[in-house]
Amino acid sequence: MLSPGIIYEPYGPREPISFLRRWFTRSGWRRTKDDIFLELKNAYAIAKLRKSGYSKAKFYTEAVSLYKEINMLMALGDKTSLRKMVTEQMYSALKSEIKLRESRWSSVYWELIEPIGVDKDDLSKVFIQLTLEFLSKQKFEAYDAKGAVVAGNKDKEVLVRDIWVFEKSQFHPGAYWRLCGRIPVKPGDI
């Protein structure tokens, strides 16, 4: 079954809103309403997830494992293994990313130190998407064709923030979680 290829509810960090603005302005009431609907959507997705036998802890463990494995496959440039772990649209994007990287660097070193929707017209095609923010310590180093370091430093740990969207089909018995998309993080948002 092919993925719908879209992120249903793109995540973005919500700006804090003051108590006075939230309760005493029109925009504050609108924001409160939007926040409530967002929480209801999240609760619905989590309920569907629990109904399928998953728990937040199980998903988190699986997601961290996928995060590590997908990043490692990207560093190695292993497109064949990567193909099985991501959706079709995400594979196309990652393949382009690997090709661009390989045009600039011969190889890279990557290490994870520690990890700090429904189609209303056809309910038989249900996908669950979960968005997870990863805050992790990583090491990275890129090399040219002669093996000389051209970027990064594998002796230095770097704090990295990534937001990934995972997707799983609810109607296919052999379905597994796959990376569906990555949400851009603005520089300085760590």
Sign of CA dihedral 78, 115, 93, 145: negative
Whether residues 86 and 169 share a domain: the answer is yes
- Whether 116 is in a domain gets the answer yes
Residue 80 tokens, joined: 């064949």
* 179 has a pLDDT exceeding 70: yes
Per the prediction, the chain carries an average pLDDT of 85
Whether residues 65 and 118 share a domain: the answer is yes
Whether residues 34 and 112 share a domain: the answer is no
Whether residues 73 and 131 share a domain: the answer is yes
- Whether 190 is in a domain gets the answer no
- Whether 188 is in a domain gets the answer no
Name residues whose C-beta falls within 8 Å of residue 162's C-beta, 6 or more positions apart in sequence: 67, 133, 134, 136, 182, 185
Mean pLDDT of 168-176: 78
CA distance 93 to 181: 9
Q: C-alpha angle 67/107/74, rounded to 5°?
A: 20
118 pLDDT tier (thresholds 50, 70, 90): very low
3-class secondary structure, 112: strand
- Whether 115 is in a domain gets the answer yes
Structural domains in the chain (count): 2
Domain that holds residue 27: 17-51
* 75-89, 156-170, 172-186: range with highest mean pLDDT: 75-89
Whether residues 117 and 70 share a domain: the answer is yes
Mean pLDDT of 104-131: 73
pLDDT digits (tens, 9 = 90+) for 9-62: 776 667 889 999 999 999 999 999 998 988 888 788 778 778 878 777 787 788
- Whether 71 is in a domain gets the answer yes
Whether residues 22 and 75 share a domain: the answer is no
Name residues whose C-beta falls within 8 Å of residue 178's C-beta, 6 or more positions apart in sequence: 3, 66, 85, 86, 87, 90, 166, 167, 168
Whether residues 21 and 80 share a domain: the answer is no
Whether residues 40 and 101 share a domain: the answer is no
CATH value at residue 149: 3.10.450.240
Whether residues 87 and 28 share a domain: the answer is no
Q: 69, 179 in Cβ contact below 8 A?
A: no
Q: Which H or E run includes 178?
A: strand 178-183
Mean pLDDT of 167-186: 83
- What Rg, from alpha-carbon coordinates, does the chain have? 19
Residue with tokens 């990863």: 134
Whether residues 46 and 71 share a domain: the answer is no
Last residue of a domain, one of 9, 25, 51: 51
